[in-house]
């Protein structure tokens, strides 16, 4: 089996750097909308008088629409090429975010969040499928490069949105439509490259190596779900933790979120390179162990020594450890289901991930009642469950590591 896997990997086309770069940049502008919402929430709370729980409902709406759309598009993309979905998704995601900024009431904000969530969701299954195609044999590195785009998008969200909010108020987030439109046009122009990449890969491996391991994949989905809860809760409530616990302003809250996400982007690249050299499961386990440790450190900081100067490096370390497992989890899911890459991508980047957003209102309620330190104590517990679950991940049945 090892020889078969080696031959199959050698038969794959070499990495298409232009294709993976274009997809990664598009991923960045797509996911900017997801982190823009947490950065906008403090302004929504101040402008519209929302509670933390009601504001977190917007995150719920965005992720609820994602949970419905991503597995559906993953299933469809296993049957036919849907590359055209990628530029359309970019426009939908940015349009929904712009609607939130212009909304006079909560129902319109929810509508914008739903539209943005659909756009974000539609992008991921097909985007990760073509990232797999463009990556050639070095799938962990290629997928981590693609996933890094998403992390950079998360980091860009507060960096781009905060000056726009200061200069133009809530209407300023509509400017996110501009880069999304440019990227959608560039991807649309290169759609023939996408179709050629799909044809090359399917020609090189007419029968994909390996067999589907649903048991391993379900365990992985559980790990991804718990990691998602940890990630989304940290992204949503880290600015509030900085503001309410370390007593800094809204701009500093956005800065610490950007620090965490930029560190996560670096961790994603680092984790992908390690996973192409070592056992993917070991990389995931170490990453999640670090996530648990640094989440606990933030809890202890809140209890005993609240300080923005100490929170910033801890946020960077938390982001670094969270990021180092991101792309590796997607590749491992595709290895568990080698004949259903679209479904694997839709779940690991879609359905399981959105659970973190679905639980955002519960974390908001906890924060309203018991404070932000209690929120991060719960984040620590979720990270611990993810780390323990990673120890039960089996070796992919059909793909022996050469």
What's the pLDDT tens digit per position in 358-402? 677 788 888 888 888 999 999 999 999 999 999 999 988 655 443
DSSP string for residues in 80-120: S--TTHHHHHHHHHHHHHHHHHH-SSHHHHHHHHHHHHHHH
How far apart are the C-alpha atoms of 204 and 200, rounded to whole Å? Answer: 6
Instruction: Provide the mean pLDDT of the chain.
Output: 80
DSSP 278: S
The reported pLDDT for the residue numbered 5 is 36
Share of the chain above pLDDT 90, in %: 19
User: What pLDDT is attached to residue 77?
Assistant: 61
Q: What is the pLDDT of residue 388?
A: 95
Distance between CA atoms of residues 271 and 324, nearest Å: 4
Q: How far apart are CA 273 and CA 138, in angstroms?
A: 9
Cα–Cα dist 89/73, whole Å: 11
Q: Which is higher by pLDDT, 97 or 350?
A: 97
What residues contact 344, with CB distance under 8 A and at least 6 apart?
Answer: 74, 217, 330, 333, 334, 336, 337
Residue with tokens 């800065």, as numbered in its chain? 255
Sorted by where each begins, the domain ranges of the chain are 2-390
3-state class of 71 per DSSP?
helix
Domain 2-390, what architecture? Answer: Up-down Bundle (1.20)
**Cα–Cα distance list, 355 to 27, 62, 65, 113 (Å):** 20, 11, 11, 16
Whole-angstrom distance, CA of residue 30 vs CA of residue 313: 27
The Cα-based distances of 402 to 2, 15, 112, 138, 304 in angstroms read 6, 19, 47, 12, 49
Give the model confidence (pLDDT) of 74-131 as tens digits.
666 656 667 888 899 999 999 998 998 887 778 888 888 888 888 887 887 778 778 8
Closest C-alpha to 348, from 167, 188, 143: 143
């Amino acid at each position: 089996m090892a020889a078969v896997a080696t031959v199959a990997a050698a038969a794959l086309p070499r990495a298409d750097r232009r294709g993976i770069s274009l997809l990664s940049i598009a991923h960045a502008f797509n996911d900017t909308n997801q982190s823009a919402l947490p950065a906008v929430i403090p302004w929504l709370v101040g402008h519209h008088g929302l509670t933390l729980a009601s504001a977190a409902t917007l995150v719920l709406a965005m992720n609820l629409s994602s949970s419905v759309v991503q597995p559906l598009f993953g299933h469809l993309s296993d049957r036919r090429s849907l590359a055209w979905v990628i530029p359309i998704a970019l426009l939908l995601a940015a349009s929904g975010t712009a609607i939130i900024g212009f909304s006079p009431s909560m129902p319109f904000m929810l509508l914008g969040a739903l539209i943005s969530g659909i756009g974000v969701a539609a992008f991921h299954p097909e985007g990760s499928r073509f990232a797999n195609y463009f990556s050639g044999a070095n799938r962990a590195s290629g997928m981590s490069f693609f996933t890094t785009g998403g992390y950079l998008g998360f980091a860009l969200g507060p960096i781009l949105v905060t000056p726009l909010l200061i200069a133009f108020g809530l209407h300023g987030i509509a400017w996110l439509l501009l880069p999304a439109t440019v990227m959608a046009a560039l991807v649309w122009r290169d759609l023939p490259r996408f179709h050629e990449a799909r044809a090359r890969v399917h020609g090189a491996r007419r029968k994909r190596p390996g067999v589907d391991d649903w048991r391993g994949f379900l365990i992985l989905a559980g790990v991804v779900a718990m990691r998602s809860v940890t990630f989304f809760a940290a992204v949503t409530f880290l600015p509030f933790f900085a503001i309410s616990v370390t007593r800094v302003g809204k701009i500093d809250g956005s800065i610490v979120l950007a620090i965490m996400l930029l560190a996560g982007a670096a961790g994603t690249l680092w984790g992908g390179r390690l996973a192409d050299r070592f056992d993917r499961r070991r990389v995931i386990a170490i990453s999640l162990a670090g996530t648990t440790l640094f989440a606990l450190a933030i809890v202890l900081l809140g209890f005993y020594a609240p300080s923005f100067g100490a929170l910033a490096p801890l946020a960077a370390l938390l982001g670094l450890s969270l990021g180092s497992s991101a792309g590796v989890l997607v590749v491992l899911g595709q290895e568990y289901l080698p004949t259903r890459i679209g479904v694997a991508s839709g779940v690991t980047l879609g359905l399981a991930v959105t659970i973190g957003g679905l639980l955002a209102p519960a974390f908001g309620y906890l924060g309203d009642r018991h404070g932000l330190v209690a929120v991060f104590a719960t984040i620590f517990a979720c990270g611990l469950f993810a780390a323990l679950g990673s120890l039960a991940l089996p070796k992919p049945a059909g793909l022996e590591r050469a």
